[in-house]
Copies of this chain bind each other. A is one copy, B any other.
């Protein structure tokens, strides 16, 4: 059970053994962030470039902290300060970065498939930190890690994914990862936000989810990405919140060991009631903590790959 790839581009084609290898590695690295001296020399002399074309705090910071806690040198490049404003192609820019001998390039980009293009072009390891509405694999891995911490298994767990599935890279990566791990997924959202034929990915679709709550092991609420769509996909935020938002009343019917998850940032009062976000079933901040561990694992496995494989 191991992970031997050059890149982490998505969960679509990862085997369950690879997902497990990543998670188990992260579990063993997690305690480093709980030490008094949160630093190991594992990646000393490795160069990690964070190349973010879309605004990000938690993901970029999480990767940067993951790299630094393993003693890697981290370099940040944001779109605004970059030479892409001078008309350079992304491919040329990536080749240029590669010529400076980094070990890993972490990329976030609004165009789906960009990390795959770079992975194909470069010998350097590429990590997808979110490509448009396509995949966000480290998010799904940290979600899976959090579920396993609480449930001790994946097989047979019932998951409800609520929100705008069409525009969510978090949903897509989780659907790939969770089905691979043998979980049962139902997606719920307004009809305009569910992609046609999504059942082919092995998920069930509903447009009301109250009746499913009693069977859920995990309820994952997605963020309403107000900044992403130019014409509204549903009548109003109020309407959305009423039909799809998770509140204490809806949660009354839940199992007492249900996990409430959210990839953040939360729109409080829209998809998630503050009382639920901060309540006893919420594992939202544990997800963030596990994010650092997952990213340490990814960086470790990719850098080790370069030198040992």
> Cβ of B39 and Cβ of A35 under 8 Å apart?
no
At the interface, yes or no: A69 with Cβ under 8 Å from chain B?
Answer: yes
At the interface, yes or no: A226 with Cβ under 8 Å from chain B?
Answer: yes
Residues of B within 8 A of A226 (CB): 86-87
Residues of B within 8 A of A292 (CB): 100-101
Instruction: From A57, A58, A97, A265, name the one whose CB has the most chain B CB atoms within 10 angstroms.
Output: A57
How many of chain A's residues touch chain B, expressed as a range? Answer: 35 or more
Mask of A29-62 contacts with B, CB within 8 angstroms, 1/0: 0000111111100001111010010011110111
Residues of B within 8 A of A82 (CB): 55, 57
Cα A292 to Cα B78 in complex, Å, equals 20
How many copies of this chain does the complex contain? 3
At the interface, yes or no: A77 with Cβ under 8 Å from chain B?
Answer: yes
At the interface, yes or no: A27 with Cβ under 8 Å from chain B?
Answer: no
At the interface, yes or no: A232 with Cβ under 8 Å from chain B?
Answer: no
Interface-lining segment among A88-96, A191-199, A239-247: A88-96
Cα A288 to Cα B289 in complex, Å, equals 36
Distance from A179 Cβ to chain B, minimum over Cβ atoms (Å): 28
Residues of B within 8 A of A153 (CB): none
**Of all chain B residues, which has the CB nearest A295?**
B100
At the interface, yes or no: A81 with Cβ under 8 Å from chain B?
Answer: yes
At the interface, yes or no: A64 with Cβ under 8 Å from chain B?
Answer: yes
> Cβ of A99 and Cβ of B266 under 8 Å apart?
no
> Cβ of B47 and Cβ of A288 under 8 Å apart?
no
> Cβ of B85 and Cβ of A55 under 8 Å apart?
yes
Cα A285 to Cα B121 in complex, Å, equals 14
Distance from A93 Cβ to chain B, minimum over Cβ atoms (Å): 7
At the interface, yes or no: A4 with Cβ under 8 Å from chain B?
Answer: no
Interface residue from B38, B85, B93, B266 paired with A92 (Cβ < 8 Å): B266
Interface residue from B39, B78, B83 paired with A45 (Cβ < 8 Å): B39
Cα A24 to Cα B57 in complex, Å, equals 36
Instruction: From A52, A82, A92, A97, name the one whose CB has the most chain B CB atoms within 10 angstroms.
Output: A92
Cα A78 to Cα B80 in complex, Å, equals 11
Mask of A277-307 contacts with B, CB within 8 angstroms, 1/0: 0000000011011011000000000000001
> Contacts A36-B307, A61-B77 hold; do A96 and B285 have CB atoms under 8 A apart?
yes
At the interface, yes or no: A17 with Cβ under 8 Å from chain B?
Answer: no
Query: Could you write out 11 A-B pairs with CB less than 8 Å apart?
Result: A38-B46, A45-B69, A55-B81, A56-B81, A57-B83, A57-B96, A86-B265, A87-B226, A99-B289, A100-B289, A101-B289
Q: A95-B285, A99-B288 are in contact. List 7 more A-B contacts (CB 8 A).
A: A55-B83, A60-B81, A65-B102, A80-B80, A83-B265, A87-B265, A92-B266
